[in-house]
Structure formats: structure tokens, C-alpha cells
Chains A and B, each alone.
Chain A
């Protein structure tokens, strides 16, 4: 597998990118380069945080937790095991993205060190994102998996959690986000906000290398500072994740409060009447209650409405 991934980075990605490189090269040296790379890296960063969370929320299960907690293991070992177990799949994603980006940079004439630094930036940024996602997913699973209500909330969140990501994509595709970012007047705030995020620290190195290809000395201090910041960030999230593992792996009960049904109000009384009253009215109201009390169903409604709104705004 490693051979296949290396083959992709060294041969396939450059060949594919070569078909479009002229347009990209023109773009990368334009004023849009910084915000564009920033937003792309931010999107990948966000996606990689969300992916393990969404995956966990779809089916919140605490069953295997009891097996882990009964074994002579530290919670941090379990967390690391969970992360490392999924790493081969993450590695494929990271390789594909990194390979494609480094292929885009090839015509700029970056030297070996610059290329290596860029690959390191991508790997650290995405590993940090996936680690953050894994830790948050583990905490959410523990918090939500103990009660039926929590599981319901988890499934509902799994549906709508991707909406912000879709909004950004629609804004890029049809909302003129990139065009707006090219304009220094409008991109200032976005750039300032994105600049605070770790995904941007690497993006700025990326762009500084593109401005000084083959001349790392010209941007060495800046690059080292940002790379150092990124490494410190990675170590910090790793440490915080390990520290949070005790909270992430616990079967201590958080609540004994069960969800309760309220007496039928105006709405259900109306549904009952519309159903013809009697048994058929009761049946209709019961189905309504069962459907409506599942947050997942409501969140699908929110998701659909959100999509429609975004389509009408951006496309």
C-alpha cells in the first residue's frame, strides 16, 4: 500500500496536475493565492475534524467501551489505539491531498527542502485535525451513548454537522467566494479570521515558498516560526487529547433523568381530530409523536431546508 501511495505522489498526481498547471500557476502567483490556499486547507482541516465525529455520531455505541475499561489499559492507550487503527485510512486521504498539492507546486521550481517542508506541513496539519476529531468523537460517544436521548441527539447531529462545510463549498462554487477573496478590500476580514487557524499557518509557508522558489533562505525565519508553531500546536493537541482520554472513556452515569411525554396539547389534539378521532385519530397522533420525537427526523428537515436556502442564495 505504501508503494501504491508513493507511486501516486511521484507519478500519478504530477501527470494529472500537469494537464491543468498553466491555469493554476497563473492563479497561484496572483493576489488570490493566500486566501485561496488558506480556505482550501481550512476546508480539509475542518473536514478531517468532522469526519470521525460524524462517523461516531451516526451510531453512538458504548458497548465496546466496557470491554476496554475492564482490560488493564489506560484510557489514553485506548484513544491512541483507536486513532492508530484508523490511521492507514487517514494516510490514504492525506497522501492523495498532499500528493496533489505537491504536484501543483512542481512547476514553481521549489527545492527539495521546500517540498519536504510542505509535505511535513500537510501531514502535521491533517494529523492534528484527525486527532482532534478522534478525541471529540470519543468524548461525544461517552457523553451521548449512555442514554436513549443522547443517542438520538447524536444521530441528529450527524446529519446537520456537515451543513457549514456544504455552505462553504456552495459559496465557492456559485457564491463568488473566491472572487471576493481575490479582492483585498473584501478578503481582509476573512484572511484575518483564517489566519488565526492552524490550517493557515502552513498555507502561509506554502505561499511564501511559491513567491521564493528555490530560495528558502529568503523566508527561512518566517517559515521556521510558522512550522514551529504548527509543531507546538500538534504536540499541544496530542497532550490535551491524552489528558482528555479519562473523560472520553468512562461509564460513569451522567443523568438518571428519562425523557417524559407531556400531556397532548393543541397540536396533537388537532392531529387526532384530523385523523377522524377515535382509534384512527390515536394511531395518526401516535405515529406523529414517534416520528416527531426523533431528533434525527427533525434534523433531516433542517438539513433539507438548509440545502434549499443555500441553493437559492449561492446557485
Chain B
């Protein structure tokens, strides 16, 4: 198909200069472009961006829909600030048409690195786990903002050097609302059984897609079917067959990695990792296992021969080793790893604690304990042991990871501290942690009844309704909030979004202008002005 846009035309009146054609989809071309608008460059933080240009005037409607969806998602994700999500920068006008402006990611997609389906090449294990951890961090940020991707696959992961960036956040919602007439079968390979059969999918469906992706990265094969598999057979495989364990295809990968993949591909969503953060922690633990194995070179004489040779040992032997050498960290570490591998985290925690009683300043015992505590969602104690691990001399990449985990949990620890004083904060924290939308809604409605004059509760409930596209309910909640706090820019902004979602543009424009006047922060202000432009353009 010919590309209808020439990159060499006169650009003096345009806000963008086209540099390179990156690809074309069902309704838009994507170009690498230079922004020629200085104000926009300040906003974007760069002059090199990617822009999506509708294929023709008829396709502008679909692109505009994608712009609107991305604008909303961007707002949902504003607090996440993940480096692993392609940034939506806004929209612009190019040759009289709306174009979507995004962060430009220079190094292709994960699909380019893996190769076409049918001729994929397995990746180095360290590289694969590093990339998947990056993706998991992005997904974790999305899920915390209650954004569910639904279409994670190597084609939608763009690469900046070794940093993966999740793209196409709005596409799946467009698919859901039948905005796209997709006929590709590529998505099916990565589809969780509950999505495939429309059985009410949740965030753990994204975990499944990442399990398929990780499997493909380390084995060079798909876990269910391949390019020549009839779709009916693939459906049967995804629904009813377990994949061949990754370690059986590639025996040199760590068994733990194969088990992590198996867990992410559990048919029953409740048996998968429940959060991307949990899966990410399991992969960190894998790194740690590898490092501790290489750090602890010569095992003591009393350690069983099988252990020295790296073969799996049974639990009884490991427990005997601990009893025989209570002052050696080796036994605790190996037994703890054995228990972790079998998902017996509570018992692993006990073992590491025993170890610390005997050897209080062993950095790997503290590190292991903190990871097991994180898996068990005991963040406060995990932070304590992360700090201890660093104090006891944790080094290298483990130290970097420990510091990054500490940083990540710093804010939530502060939240926990406050929560004892503030009942409202405690409820809101519970809502944030809730994975059931019904529970979250019930908790918020109870909180509104209990604290009718608390704006934070109303704001959270309204945001919840906005996310679930129940805009009229959101409007009621925000309007009452604005009655309580008429100059609150964030509330006015949220209310404007609700009006916008409900297609009540005059009200939305009015509230957006009030939000800007009330001192909306600069990032949202830019989006507010974008939305104003969209609505004014629509009204014209």
C-alpha cells in the first residue's frame, strides 16, 4: 500500500517536520517527526517525537478516539511515572488533521528482537529476565492505576536500548468497543483463557500474556501452538493443555525461571501471580539465587554430595544440614530457596529468621528474608530487612535492587504510618489494594456515608466511576465535592473529565476553565488545554 504522505514537502507552516516513516496500521501512519513548536518542545522535553497521522480524513474519527482514550489513560497513569510505558505527549494539528504525539522509541519492538513467529530465536536468559522485569514494572504501574492492557505481546513492547516500553494502551479498549475491525490472529497466541472465552478477565490476564512472552523469549517458541496451528486447536491448547515446561525445551535455564513461567501460565487466574510486582519480585529472587550460588563457592563437608553438584536435594536432608551446622548460612539459604521454590514462603521466612538469630549480620539472609516477606505482602518488615541487608554489606546488582525496592516502598510506608492516625487514609489505602472493583466501590460508598464532608473520599469514588466510564455517577459525586471545596483544581479537573466522558461538552469546557483558573498543575493544564481544543474542534 502506498504511503500518502511525502516527507519532503514544504513545512514552514506546520508544527512537525516528518523524518522517517515507522509503520502503518489500520487507520494511521506512524512517523518519526521533529516538533517545530517551541512551546510544545518545552512541554515534551524533546523535539523528536513519534506522531500518528490518520490515513485519510475518514480515518480521523478513529484516530481522534484513540487520542481521547490515551488522554484519559495518561491522566490515570499520571501518578505512575513509569519509564516502562510509552509516554503519550498530547495531540497536534498537521496538515489540517489531528495527529497523536507520543514519545519516540528508537530501537524497534521486542518482536524485532525475537524474530517473526515461526522463526524466533531464544534470547540470553539474563537479557530476557532483565527485559521482562522492565515490562512488569510498567504493567505494575498500570495496574496500580487500575489500567488493564489486555493486549500485551512482543509487537506492543517497544525498545529503547535494553529498556522495554509498553505501547498501544488504548487499542484494547477500542477493540472492546468495536472501534477496530481487527482480523489478526496474532493476538490469540497471547490471550489468557478467560479473555479468550470472555469469562470476566482481570489484571491477571496481563500476567498470562507476559508468561507467554517470557516463555517465547527464553525458548524461542510459543507455549501454545505456532504459526501453522489451526485456531481451533490453539483454543483447545490454551483452554485445556499445560505447556511443555520451558526447562524441557531449554535445559540450561534455571529451574526457578521455568517455574515462574509455569505459575504465570496457570489456567486458573487465582493461581497466577496476583500482581505484576509479585512476579517481578520472584524474578529478582531468581537473580539472587544465581548470585548466592556463585558467592557461596565451597560447601562445608557436611553438606550432601548432591548439593555440591547442584542437583536438587530433598527437604529432610536440607533440614538435617541446618541442624548439623546452625552457624553456617549455607543451610538456611538452601532450605529457604527450596521452600520458596515450592511457594512455601511462610516457612521460608521462619528459616531465614532462624538463620538471622544465629548469624545476625549476614546480608544474603536479610535480603532473602525481605524478598519472601514482600511475596507475603509484609512490606514494613521487608523494608527493615532490606535496610539491614544493605547495612550488612549487600553489594553489586543486589544492592541496587534493594535500594530501588526501598525507594519504591518509601511512599507506601509513609502511608502506612499515617494510616494509624487517619481512618480515611486507611480506607483509601484498602481501596487501592483491592483487586475487586465491586469491593472497592462498596468501600468507597460506605466511606462517603461515614465521612460526607471528606473531599478525598468523594474524589476517589468519582475517579473510580470515571475509570469504569459511569460518568453520570461520577458527575454527581464530583459536583457534591465541588460544593464542599469550590476552588479545588483537581476536583474541577476530574469533574470536567466526567462531563467530557458523558459528552456534555459545554459543562466540560466550563469546568476545565475553572480548573485552570483555580491553579491546575502544569502537566494537567497542558492536557486541559488539549481537551479544550478537541472539544472546540468538535463543536466547530
Q: Do A and B bind each other?
A: no
Q: Which residues of A contact B (CB under 8 A)?
A: none
Spell out B's residues near A (CB within 8 Å): none
